[in-house]
Amino acid sequence: MNDVKSDLESGTGQRGLAETIIESTHQAVVVMDKHRRRVIYANPAFVTITGYTIDEITGKSLAHFRSERHNNAFYKQIWNSLEEKGQWSGEIWGRRKNGEEYPTLHTISPIFDSRFGRVRYYVSIFSDITAIKRQQSSLGDLAYQDPLTGLPNRLLLVDRLQHALRTHTRNNTQLAVMFLDLDNFKTINDTLGHAAGDQLLQAVAGRLQTILRTEDTVARLGGDEFVIVAESCPSRRGIIRIAEKALQTITEPLRIADQDVAVQASIGIAVFPDDGKDVDAILQAADQAMYQAKITEGSSYCFYTSRSKS
């Protein structure tokens, strides 16, 4: 500690310590001259992050390392901010030597010439935030995903259904929304336990995914409620085939908690645009049709516009 204190008490020691910190930090540090905006210094972290050597970047403009994600107006705004406010902070996408684009968090500040009291250089300090971006993306996925089954949740279902309705409105075509509810799920859950109930829901989710086409969506709303959005269904017969296939795959025997479990389901079907013009209306119609299907004993489906089908 005494050696450090001694160093700090002298200008030379302070400069030496500052150089050591800059050379050893994990943040990239780049110094540019103000007028030509050319690199006159870069620390080892810059080399590590970008893949360029010191010789390759010295004397080059930072435009050499730009990503194509930003236009000239973006960079002009940065320089204007530096002139007006004396500093700029924000996110910039850069480009490594291998061509890979990557996000960075930048702070750009002026370095004054003490003799003349004017800006002579700019120092840019930045961090590679690729890992943070990936984490944010992962969290974003979780916000739209049912944690138990991995299916889209209500939020993502509504988003996809809104998009589908707009598409089918433009094309003047129909789609089917199927509200599926497992029969006697509470009894199974209470008898075998919640862990077994979760396994059952996961198995049902997996089975429903196997019967759908690539353009279709199956989502879990919560509990034992699922919704299927079946696109490209021009005929009632085609809709019925999907509903019957869903019921058939669900009722196949399941082995849960070392026991054979018999599962049945009820499906309510609403067709856009006849049974609802928006997301709320079409989901409500399918939900009402599902309760009508519950009246029929055993696995069954029911169209909103009819009383019941089995």
Cα 56–chain centre separation: 36
Q: Which helix (H) or strand (E) holds 195?
A: helix 194-211
| Residue 224 falls in the annotated catalytic set | yes
The b-or-e profile of 55-92 (16+ CB within 10 A means b, else e) is eebeeeebeebbeeeeeeeeeeebeeebeeeeebeeeb
Helix axes 194-211, 236-251, angle to 10 degrees: 140
| Helix spans in 220-300 (H) | 236-251, 279-295
Any idea what DSSP says for residue 258? T
Lookup: tokens for 166: 């707009």
Peptide bond preceding 273 in cis form (omega within 30 of 0) = yes
Longest dimension (CA), the chain: 92
Separation between Cα atoms, residue 236 and residue 79, nearest integer Å: 62
Q: Which of 224, 275, 280, 287 is catalytic?
A: 224
CB atoms within 10 A of CB 14: 12
By C-alpha distance, which of 298, 237, 227 is closest to 268? 227
* Torsion sign, CA atoms 102, 35, 85, 41: positive
Residues with catalytic function: 224
